[in-house]
């Protein structure tokens, strides 16, 4: 058996289980002790999976964790809220590191677990010296005669790894008792050579039949489990067959509630499959080619004015549009994939900073393209770190300011047209505008005269300048002079925009507006020196015509007045080093927004809006490419470069 064929599902399932452990431990820490059985079950499952795949170091750590959790769930001892639970979180971090190494093909041998395992063993040694579980606390009616039970297990007929699944079943049974006998032999079972997908285990245990069944049911691909009293063919009155696999405390799936006759129909109508993301990327590329082909056919039909083509072209347009929307939805993931990290992050940071923080999450079901999801996680983490470190005050400071001692951090997501807005909001001390301006003057960014004229919104934009920081003390959390500028750059590289608002003493709100997908977007097509260029419509506020006489040079910059405000103008021909255009009475200006700043980009002419497929330009190592975020193929087969407004503003 080649285990390499199963490394992908192992990584996916382990990642899901580690996330569940994080959530359960957080709930346990908050006082919900009922989840301890689930914590034990998931840890036990992780151990079995790691052992089956041959990752012995990973299995060894989870085995030691399991010993601690088993003692807690059986009431032998209690976890100290701070120290012991933090150690379990440290174990999860180590398991995540194992998983990252496994994904990179390094196996599980790079991480040293000696110290963390010693800490876990120390918990056992200390607590076992305290109070043991009294025999009288055991329900005598649930103890079997002589404690011997015959457990008959049947795996599903379509089970691919019989030996691996059987090993996991044996591991589960071993966790609640001592295995006395196996039929067929244990070697035959573990090799998966038993016939009919059935085997029996004789176990000596003091747990109830229900607990035995639940242990077996926690393993996937189990068809049925029957528990009998040893030495009799009579089934225990409480035993029953259980179809499928289910975990303690969880509602059974629909498949477990229906008969075999309905199952075949259920599988056809309610089924999910894991798909390699590279296949989805390839499918999206093919859909992009279909969109390009459709545009070319539409243009050719318009050029020759064939009326007979109108109806079939419209039908082709509808079909290709439906396919495009379907493929886009296939790539969508709920933003909970990012949000699920935050409770643990806030928990750890609040402990480190010795602050009381309440986290609220809204809009977890809001969906984004997985390419956006993959990129936006780290910027969101930085914003949360900033809120906790710079924004939310200590309990003493909050009480002195007349606030509750617990700070509120709210992270929410919602759809806004063709975009998704993600907001990080806190009720902390806000941003001191005067301090920001003073720092800007100190760094020579602005003069004192300019500072007096700067609005609050303009002052906050200094926070996005590389190396700008108002923090006097450097810490591991923030204040190193990098961060907000990197967040802004990442957001704008995704075609998004970033907004920051703050009320001194009341709190701060940072909003990120992102396109739902990066593959196929609406764009404004313009011409510059006879060539067509595209500007993402998400970054376009409006298009205007400016009388040449209304464009003036002020302090070396070309500007014009737009509804009472000064608009800086950038001539595309000068910017790209193209010969100047002939004198025109009116200038065609695209008003582009980057962050809170607006710039007017002078082009030769507007063509109109069009749906475009973004193609990566690759890394050529030249500065000129930085002005463009990609390219696209137009309806006539020509290539148009996609202008990056943020790069234009940054290099102008």
Residues classed as catalytic: 44, 66, 386
Element (H, E) at 359: strand 357-362
Residues 6+ apart with CB under 8 A from 343: 22, 23, 26, 359, 361
Residues 6+ apart with CB under 8 A from 458: 596
**What is the CB neighbour count within 10 angstroms for residue 285?**
14
Q: Which two tokens stand for residue 563?
A: 């509804």
The CA distance from 635 to 632, in Å, is 10
Note the helical H segments in 145-233.
162-174, 186-190, 209-217
Q: What is the DSSP letter of 235?
A: B
Residues 6+ apart with CB under 8 A from 200: 150, 151, 152, 153, 182, 183
Are 127 and 72 in contact by the 8 Å Cβ rule? The answer is no
Q: Which two tokens stand for residue 327?
A: 């493929």
For 408, the 3-state DSSP assignment is strand
Q: Exposed e or buried b for every residue in 470-508, given b needs 16+ CB within 10 A?
A: ebeeeeebbbeeebbbebbbbbbebbbbbebbbeeeebb
- Do the bridges between strand 497-503 and strand 148-155 make them parallel or antiparallel, or are there none, so unpaired? unpaired
For 472, the 3-state DSSP assignment is coil
**CA angle (303 as vertex; 298, 306 as ends), nearest 5:** 75
- Sheet hosting strand 597-603, strand order edge to edge: 540-547, 586-594, 597-603, 565-571, 557-562, 552-554
């Amino acid at each position: 058996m080649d285990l390499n064929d199963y490394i992908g599902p192992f990584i996916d399932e382990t990642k899901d289980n580690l996330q569940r452990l994080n959530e359960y431990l957080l709930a346990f820490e908050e006082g919900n002790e009922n989840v301890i059985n689930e914590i034990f079950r998931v840890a036990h499952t992780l151990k079995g999976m790691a052992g089956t795949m041959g990752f012995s170091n990973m299995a060894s750590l989870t085995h030691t964790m399991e010993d601690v959790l088993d003692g807690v769930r059986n009431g032998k001892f209690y976890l100290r809220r701070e120290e012991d639970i933090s150690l379990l979180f440290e174990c999860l971090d180590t398991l995540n590191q194992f998983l990252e190494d496994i994904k990179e093909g390094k196996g599980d041998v790079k991480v040293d677990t000696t110290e963390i395992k010693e800490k876990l063993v120390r918990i056992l040694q200390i607590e076992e010296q305290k109070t043991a579980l009294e025999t009288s606390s055991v329900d005598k009616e649930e103890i079997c005669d002589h404690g011997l039970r015959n457990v008959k297990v049947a795996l599903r007929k379509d089970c691919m790894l019989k030996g691996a699944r059987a090993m996991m079943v044996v591991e589960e049974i071993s966790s609640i008792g001592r295995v006395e006998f196996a039929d067929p032999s244990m070697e035959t079972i573990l090799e998966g050579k038993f016939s009919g997908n059935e085997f029996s285990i004789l176990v000596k245990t003091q747990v109830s039949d229900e607990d035995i069944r639940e242990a077996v049911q926690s393993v996937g691909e189990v068809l049925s489990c029957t528990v009998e009293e040893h030495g009799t063919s009579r089934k225990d009155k409480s035993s029953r067959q259980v179809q499928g696999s289910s975990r303690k405390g969880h509602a059974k799936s629909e498949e477990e509630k229906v008969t075999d006759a309905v199952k075949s129909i259920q599988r056809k109508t309610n089924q999910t499959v894991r798909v390699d993301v590279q296949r989805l990327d390839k499918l999206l590329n093919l859909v992009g080619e279909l969109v390009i082909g459709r545009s070319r056919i539409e243009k050719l039909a318009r050029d020759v004015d064939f009326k007979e083509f109108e109806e079939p072209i419209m039908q082709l347009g509808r079909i290709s549009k439906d396919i495009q929307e379907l493929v886009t939805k296939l790539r969508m993931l709920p933003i909970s994939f990012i949000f699920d990290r935050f409770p643990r992050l806030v928990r750890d940071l609040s402990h480190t900073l010795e602050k009381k923080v309440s986290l609220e999450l809204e809009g977890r079901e809001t969906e984004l393209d997985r390419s956006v999801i993959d990129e936006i996680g780290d910027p969101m983490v930085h914003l949360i770190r900033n809120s906790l470190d710079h924004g939310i005050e200590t309990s003493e400071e909050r009480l002195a300011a007349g606030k509750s001692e617990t700070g509120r951090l709210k992270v929410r997501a919602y759809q806004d047209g063709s975009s998704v807005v993600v907001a990080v909001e806190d009720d902390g001390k806000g941003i001191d505008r005067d301090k920001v301006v003073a720092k800007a003057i100190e760094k020579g960014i602005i003069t004192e005269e300019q500072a007096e004229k700067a609005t609050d919104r303009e002052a906050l934009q200094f926070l996005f300048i590389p190396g700008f920081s108002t923090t006097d003390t450097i810490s591991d959390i923030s204040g190193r002079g990098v961060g907000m500028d990197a967040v802004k750059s990442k957001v704008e590289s995704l075609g998004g925009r970033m907004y920051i608002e703050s009320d001194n003493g009341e709190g701060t709100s940072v909003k990120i507006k992102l396109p739902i997908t990066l593959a196929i977007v609406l764009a404004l097509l313009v011409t510059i020196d006879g060539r067509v260029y595209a500007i993402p419509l998400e970054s376009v506020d409006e298009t205007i015509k400016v009388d040449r006489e209304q464009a003036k040079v002020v302090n070396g910059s070309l500007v014009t007045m737009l509804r009472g405000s000064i608009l800086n103008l950038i001539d595309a021909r000068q910017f790209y080093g193209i010969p100047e255009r002939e004198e025109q009475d009116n200038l065609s200006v695209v008003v582009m927004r980057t962050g809170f700043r607006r710039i007017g980009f002078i082009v030769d002419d507007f063509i109109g809006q069009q749906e475009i497929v973004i193609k990566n330009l690759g890394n050529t190592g030249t500065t000129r490419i930085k002005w463009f975020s990609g390219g696209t193929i137009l309806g006539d087969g020509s290539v148009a470069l996609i202008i990056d407004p943020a790069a234009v503003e940054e290099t102008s």
